[in-house]
Amino acid sequence: MGVRGEARRQARERRGTRFDKPPTWRGALNRAALMAGIFGVLVVLAFGRSPAEGAMLAAFMLLLYIPMSYYTDRFIYNRRRARAATGKPPRS
């Protein structure tokens, strides 16, 4: 196997182990904060709103993104665990 093939195999293994960890609220908060920040900047730049409006909308989106991110991660985690329990290989 070449260098690229080995790198792909290692990346696939790392991704698999990352998806096999249970979700955390901290991870959901970090992801939600990043997405809400991007959303706030886009509201200001793309729609010409004031920075205060962008910040308020970003804060509101943060409150929506946190549980949405956590429960999505939890759904995927539970589905992977159920699939592993049946003996089927997990999808990458």
- Flag whether 42 is in a domain: yes
- Flag whether 10 is in a domain: yes
- Flag whether 92 is in a domain: no
- Flag whether 91 is in a domain: no
**Alpha helix (H) residue ranges in the chain:** 3-19, 25-47, 51-85
| SS3 state of residue 89 | coil
- Flag whether 29 is in a domain: yes
**Structural domain count, the chain:** 1
- Flag whether 27 is in a domain: yes
- Flag whether 30 is in a domain: yes
Q: Which residues of the chain have pLDDT under 50?
A: none
The residue among 74, 39, 30, 31 whose CA lies nearest residue 60 is 39
Q: Which domain holds residue 44?
A: 3-85
- Flag whether 75 is in a domain: yes
pLDDT score of 29: 97
pLDDT score of 91: 65
pLDDT score of 14: 75
